[in-house]
Amino acid sequence: MVSATTAPPKASPPPSSRRLSPALKKRRRRGYALFALFAFPNLALIAVFAYWPILENLYLSLTSWDFISPEPFFVGFANYTSLFASESFRNVLWITLVWVVVVVGVSLLLGVALAALFSMKLPGTTAVTGIVFAPHVISGAAIAAVWLFIFDQNYGLARVAFNMLGMSSPAWTTDANWALAALLIVSIWKGVGFVAIVYLAAMQGLPSEVLEAARIDGAGRFQVFRRITLPLLSPTTFFLVITQTIGAFQAFDIIAVMTGGGPAGATTTLSWFIYDQAFQRSNVGYSAAAGTVMFVILMAITALQFKFIEKKVHY
Amino acid sequence: MAAMTSTLREQPVAPDSESMSGTVTPAGGRPRGRGRLSRNWWGYLLLLAAALAFVLPLYILVTTAFKTNGDIYSWPMKWLPSELTWDNLVTAWDLAPFGDFIANSVIVTVVGATAKVVLAVFTAYAFAYLPFPGKKILFVVMLGALMVPGHVTLLVNYITIGNMGLINTYAGIILPGVASAFGTFLLRQHFLSLPKEVFEAAEVDGAGHFRKLFSFALPMSIPAVATVGLIAVIDEWNNFVWPLIITNSVNMRTLPIGLMYLKANDGLTSWGVLMSGTLVVVLPMLIVFLFAQRFIVTGLTGAAAGSGR
């Protein structure tokens, strides 16, 4: 076990240890066989449960099926035309847009602010960092349950806050005007610690000489942060925007436990819609079409940001 | 391992390294030469506010789980319980088969995470040290799986598992989640960073690939394997949408789904009962987090792109 200490996390240049030993053909063939034995089970699972679904989903989106009848019935693009013709689906897309923009935007703003606070290294920071990050490793369903109680109109913590402002607490999760806000608060509360930690790690990697130099030149703390720290953090910001956006699009457990997409569809995001259509209404083709829409959007965002990164990340 | 953890530890708390808030030169002309506390009072205030915002919900959860209904349903809110009770937990057990939920969650988590780590270790070793035609392309294809949004695969995976006759079985819950792309990536990178002299020496001694893997690569990679394993445990334990879809009888539900079942089943939501059930779901991962925070944080901040695959 002592040998474990001798394994430092090296950032050495890409290893050149891939040269094959000048072995006999037989030995090489044994290597191939062993590779297959070691890697193919995992690769097969990835093929079946990650790649195949994308293709099959594409096919299903061109069919009408209810899980029960023997064969999916080919309908061409009918699912797509009816999706985009439907008022309720356009509403779903709108709610999803609001959801993603607010979750990602607020999480990043609060996250970078928290990271700046943590990087002051005041006593107690380590403990607070842990506490803020903890919700990230806790079940979303459990967090949703706790917040359901917090949002309880009569006995919840939210009522304390509203009473302090001289108001009475709304019915949050059952009020169509408040339900989405409630879910947004919970989602941001769960995810902001992760954003803060990623930003914090990035800040600690910044060249301290540059920041010190700016301070010596008379730049204020806020000015340094805005003019130097933030631009230097832009690669981190891009990384977080991608991952947080992809995550926000697929938010599910909090919605399922707190509102179930309601009231009156007020919290039906694309992810809930896909689930609801397939597993509660057995509209397989319709759900698959919505799934393809999500897939295309996420791929477009990924591609767009990869392109953006190439241009902007390095200064 | 001890050496590694301490270096990881040091960075965030190193007291003498100069931070943005560090010693401000008086020459800057700012009236800030006073003590650290008075200068940073707002920093402490914000830190306290942040801590409160995240501790308070947890406090509510724990206290409500052990409060009597009399205390829960009174206003103004009782911050401290007047007496502690196990009644909520007992009622939760009566209303829902929590024993089954716990057993299911433990089985799925232990088997799923173990399988995932084993697959990742073997695949990573193969990609690091074994020859195969087109290996590089295969590796890129594997990594591409990280970009596939999991939510889009639910429907087809449900049909696939159905065709395999595995709906409402442990195998059905576990199988689609054990494929490992990110874990494989992480471990491969780590394997390649190991000193290759060790492996050459082992080869001279006539060690085969199995010996090289189990006697050399693995013992030198314990922190990396622990990271991959812990992330897998957290993912399996908290997984929600897949077990929800693939199980259809109450006694096959895992804890997070059981929580939703409890919520639907306790009539007009009884907060004490729901919070005690929630505590059962939260506590194990909170404990894991407490004891393995640094592995989890380093792993998760890297795994962000992986979305659990």
In the Cβ-directed half-sphere of B201, how many Cα atoms lie within 13 Å?
Answer: 7
**Helix (H, G, I), strand (E, B), or coil: what is residue A1?**
coil
Nearest to A120 by CA among A194, A217, A218, A225: A225
Please tell me the distance from the alpha carbon of residue B174 to that of residue A181, in angstroms, as a whole number: 34
Is the domain of B70 the same as that of B108? no
Residue pair B275/A149 in contact by the 8 Å Cβ criterion:
yes
**Residues of chain B with pLDDT > 70: what percent?**
83
> What is the domain count for chain A?
1
Residues of A within 8 A of B102 (CB-CB) are none
Nearest to A224 by CA among A238, A210, A234, A241: A210
In a domain, B61, yes or no: yes
More confident: A308 or A177: A177
* Residue from B69, B152, B231 whose CB has the most chain A CBs within 10 Å, to mutate: B152
Residues of B within 8 A of A161 (CB-CB) are none
Q: Three-state secondary structure along A218-243?
A: CCCHHHHHHHHHHHHCHHHHHHHHHH
In a domain, B16, yes or no: no
Is the domain of B199 the same as that of B289? yes
Phi, psi of A63 (to 5 degrees): -125, 170
The band of B70, judged by pLDDT with boundaries at 50, 70 and 90, is: confident
Is the domain of B96 the same as that of B223? yes
Among B57, B85, B113, the domain boundary falls at: B85
Element (H, E) at A268: none
Instruction: Determine the pLDDT at residue B18.
Output: 38
Element (H, E) at B163: helix B150-163
- A93, two tokens: 């897309």
Q: Is A82 left (phi over 0), alpha (psi -120 to 50) or beta?
A: alpha
Instruction: Determine the pLDDT at residue A247.
Output: 93
Instruction: Determine the pLDDT at residue A309.
Output: 63
A64 forms bridges with which residues in the sheet?
A73
**Based on C-alpha coordinates, what's the Rg of chain B?**
25
Distance from CA of B210 to the nearest CA of A (A): 10
Instruction: Determine the pLDDT at residue B21.
Output: 40
Residue A131 has pLDDT above 60, yes or no: yes
Is the domain of B76 the same as that of B140? no
Residues of A within 8 A of B300 (CB-CB) are 136-137, 194
In a domain, B65, yes or no: yes
Q: Name, in order, each residue with C-beta under 8 angstroms of A40's C-beta and a sequence gap of 6 or more.
A: none
Residues of B within 8 A of A53 (CB-CB) are 148, 152-153, 155-157, 160
Is the domain of B176 the same as that of B228? yes
Whether A215 sits inside 8 A of B24 (CB atoms) is yes
A284 touches chain B (CB under 8 A): yes
Measured CA to CA in angstroms, residue B72 lies from A137, A191, B60, B269 at distances of: 27, 28, 10, 12
Q: How many CB atoms lie within 10 A of CB B153?
A: 25
Closest CB from A21, A221, A279 relative to B20 = A221
pLDDT tens-place string over residues A52-63 = 999 999 999 999
**Helix (H, G, I), strand (E, B), or coil: what is residue A74?**
strand
Least confident of A6-20, A160-174, A277-291, B82-96: A6-20
Instruction: Determine the pLDDT at residue A23.
Output: 57
The DSSP call for residue A138 is S
Residues of B within 8 A of A154 (CB-CB) are 73, 75
Distance from CA of A82 to the nearest CA of B (A): 20
**Helix (H, G, I), strand (E, B), or coil: what is residue B3?**
helix
pTM above 0.80, yes or no: yes
Residue pair A298/A246 in contact by the 8 Å Cβ criterion:
yes
The band of A25, judged by pLDDT with boundaries at 50, 70 and 90, is: confident
In a domain, B11, yes or no: no
User: Residue B195's domain is classified under what CATH number?
Assistant: 1.10.3720.10
Stretch B190-207: mean pLDDT, rounded?
Answer: 87
Q: Name, in order, each residue with C-beta under 8 angstroms of B189's C-beta and a sequence gap of 6 or more.
A: none
Does the bond joining B76 to the residue before it have cis omega, within 30 degrees of 0? yes
By DSSP bridging, strand A73-74 and strand A63-64 are antiparallel
Is the domain of B71 the same as that of B194? no
Nearest to A200 by CA among A101, A104, A115: A115
**Residues of chain B with pLDDT > 90: what percent?**
58
Residue pair B28/A215 in contact by the 8 Å Cβ criterion:
yes
In a domain, A156, yes or no: yes
Stretch B109-119: mean pLDDT, rounded?
Answer: 97
Residue B151 has pLDDT above 80, yes or no: yes
Please tell me the distance from the alpha carbon of residue A210 to that of residue B18, in angstroms, as a whole number: 12
In a domain, B268, yes or no: yes
Instruction: Determine the pLDDT at residue A102.
Output: 98
Is the domain of B75 the same as that of B192? no
Length of chain A equals: 315
Instruction: Determine the pLDDT at residue B35.
Output: 59
* Residue type at A266 in one-letter notation: A
Tell the residue number behind the tokens 């987090």, with chain if given.
B289
Q: How many CB atoms lie within 10 A of CB B12?
A: 18
Full residue range of the structural domain in which residue A182 is found: 83-312
Query: Can you say how many angstroms the Cα of residue A251 is from the centroid of all Cα atoms in its chain?
Result: 8
In a domain, B77, yes or no: yes
Closest CB from B20, B72, B220 relative to A119 = B20
**Sign, CA torsion B280/B285/B286/B291:** positive
Whether A120 sits inside 8 A of B19 (CB atoms) is yes
Nearest to A193 by CA among B254, B57, B275, B260: B57
A71 touches chain B (CB under 8 A): no
In a domain, B139, yes or no: yes
Stretch B261-281: mean pLDDT, rounded?
Answer: 86
Smallest CA–CA distance from A284 into chain B, residue? B155
Is the domain of B119 the same as that of B254? yes
Does the bond joining A170 to the residue before it have cis omega, within 30 degrees of 0? no
Highest mean pLDDT among A8-17, A238-247, B105-114: B105-114
Smallest CA–CA distance from B139 into chain A, residue? A43
Residues of A within 8 A of B209 (CB-CB) are 34
pLDDT tens-place string over residues A191-240 = 999 999 999 988 988 888 888 888 888 888 888 888 888 988 988 898 89
Least confident of B62-66, B119-123, B204-208, B219-223: B204-208
Is the domain of B63 the same as that of B97? no
Is the domain of B78 the same as that of B111? no
Tell the residue number behind the tokens 């539900």, with chain if given.
B253
In a domain, A282, yes or no: yes
Instruction: Determine the pLDDT at residue A33.
Output: 93
The DSSP call for residue A153 is T
Residues of A within 8 A of B46 (CB-CB) are 117
In a domain, A59, yes or no: no
Please tell me the distance from the alpha carbon of residue B90 to that of residue B71, in angstroms, as a whole number: 18
Please tell me the distance from the alpha carbon of residue B105 to that of residue B103, in angstroms, as a whole number: 6
Is the domain of B135 the same as that of B120? yes
User: Residue A277's domain is classified under what CATH number?
Assistant: 1.10.3720.10
B137 touches chain A (CB under 8 A): no
- B178, two tokens: 């054990």
Residue pair B50/B44 in contact by the 8 Å Cβ criterion:
no
C-alpha dihedral, A16 to A22 to A23 to A25, nearest 10°: 100
Stretch B267-293: mean pLDDT, rounded?
Answer: 89
User: What is the helix, strand, coil percentage profile of chain B, to 5?
Assistant: 75, 0, 25
Residue B93 has pLDDT above 60, yes or no: yes
Smallest CA–CA distance from B222 into chain A, residue? A4
Please tell me the distance from the alpha carbon of residue B147 to that of residue A125, in angstroms, as a whole number: 34
In a domain, B19, yes or no: no
Stretch A66-73: mean pLDDT, rounded?
Answer: 90
User: How much is the mean pLDDT over chain A?
Assistant: 88
> What is the domain count for chain B?
2
The band of A107, judged by pLDDT with boundaries at 50, 70 and 90, is: very high
Query: Can you say how many angstroms the Cα of residue A23 is from the centroid of all Cα atoms in its chain?
Result: 47
Full residue range of the structural domain in which residue B280 is found: 92-306
Least confident of A49-58, A68-77, A273-282: A68-77
Among B69, B85, B101, the domain boundary falls at: B85
Instruction: Determine the pLDDT at residue A277.
Output: 95
Smallest CA–CA distance from B296 into chain A, residue? A137
Tell the residue number behind the tokens 């339900």, with chain if given.
A179
Please tell me the distance from the alpha carbon of residue B114 to that of residue A137, in angstroms, as a whole number: 19
Is the domain of B207 the same as that of B123? yes
